Structure 1
Amino acid sequence: MRLDDTDRRLLRQFMAEPTLTTADLAMRAGVTEATCWRRLERLRKGGVLTGQQAVIDWRALGWAVEVSLRFTLDKTDPRAFDEFIAAAREVPEVLEIQTFLGRVDVRLNVIARDMAHYQQIYRDRILTLPHISDIESLMHLAEIKRGDGVPL
């Protein structure tokens, strides 16, 4: 889908403050409310806008530990990826699952209340995942930049 300057202005304003009403978004983007609504509908139908979501600060809810786990899987079983991912989806503390090409096959982003809780999750839920050949753990210290938007 091709975007023009009006689409980009709308998307920039929408990314900055997704809770704006159509009227406020139109005003900030310098278009009429009707134009704004039509453009947003076109962007939705074109697959550019796929939804809205709440961003919850899980640290504010008492989850103080975040760990990125990188897995290399034993790929001698052709079902290794599917079985690993299906099992990882069942771990409630897993926030994110990503797959890769290269030395690392899968990355899980895991949260825990504290280090003791993380150790319990690691022993009871992570190490029991199928087809693990190697694990690398990276403790999250700080978020420097979050890529919630794209440069428009």
Structure 2
Amino acid sequence: MQIDDTDRRILRHLLADPDLSNADLAARAGVTTATCWRRLDRLRAGGVIRATVAEIDWRRLGYAVEVSLRFNLDKTNPRAFDEFLDAARQVPEVTGIETFLGRVDLRLTVIARDMAHYQEIYRRRILTLPHIADIEALMLVATIKDEGALPV
């Protein structure tokens, strides 16, 4: 899908403040409300804007620990990936699942209230996931940049 400078302006302002009303977004982008609405509709239909979501700060809800777990699976079983992913999706504290090409097969992001809670999740839910050949844990210390946006 092709986008022009007007679309880019709308997207920049939408990314900067997703809670803007259509009228405010249109004013900031320098277009009419009708034009803004039509362009947003076209960007959604074209798959450029996939969703408008709520971003939850897990720490404010009492989840102070975030761990990234990198897995290599025992790939001698042809269903290893599917079975691992099916089981990992059932762990409520897993907030992200990503697959990779290279030395690491998968990464899970796990949140916990504290280290004791994390240890419980790790022992009871993570280590019981099928087909694990190797695990590496990376404890999140700080998030320096977390943007899901491209410079438009």
TM-score tier by shorter-chain length is over 0.9
- Amino acid corresponding to residue 9 of structure 1 in structure 2: R
Q: Distance in 1 between matches of 2:147 and 2:104?
A: 22
What pairs with 1:117-136 in structure 2 (closer than 5 Å)? Answer: 117-136=117-136
- Amino acid corresponding to residue 98 of structure 1 in structure 2: E
Q: Does 1:114 align with 2:114?
A: yes
- Structure 2 residue aligned with 1:66: 66
Count matched residues.
152
CA RMSD of aligned residues (A): 0.6
- Structure 1 residue aligned with 2:3: 3
Runs of 4+ in 1 over 3 A off after TM superposition: none
- Amino acid corresponding to residue 130 of structure 2 in structure 1: P
- Superposition TM-score, scaled by structure 2 size: 0.98
Q: How far apart are 1:147 and its partner, in Å?
A: 1.8
Q: Distance in 2 between matches of 1:57 and 1:76?
A: 39
- Per-residue displacement from partner, 1:100-147 (whole Å, max 9, x unpaired)? 011100000000011011001000000000000000000000000012
- Superposition TM-score, scaled by structure 1 size: 0.98
Q: Distance in 2 between matches of 1:137 and 1:18?
A: 33
What pairs with 1:2-151 in structure 2 (closer than 5 Å)? Answer: 2-151=2-151
Q: How far apart are 1:148 and its partner, in Å?
A: 2.4
Q: Distance in 2 between matches of 1:43 and 1:126?
A: 39
- Per-residue displacement from partner, 1:44-74 (whole Å, max 9, x unpaired)? 1101111111011000111010000000000
- Amino acid corresponding to residue 36 of structure 1 in structure 2: C
Q: Distance in 2 between matches of 1:48 and 1:99?
A: 23
Q: Distance in 2 between matches of 1:112 and 1:132?
A: 21
Give the match's secondary structure for 1:2. Answer: coil
Q: Distance in 2 between matches of 1:50 and 1:102?
A: 28
> What is the identity percentage for the equivalent residue pairs of Structure 1 and Structure 2?
70
Structure 2 unaligned spans of 5+: none
Q: Distance in 1 between matches of 2:80 and 2:125?
A: 17
Structure 1 unaligned spans of 5+: none
Give the match's secondary structure for 2:72. Answer: strand
- Per-residue displacement from partner, 1:16-50 (whole Å, max 9, x unpaired)? 11111111000000001111011011101101111
Q: Distance in 1 between matches of 2:82 and 2:41?
A: 35
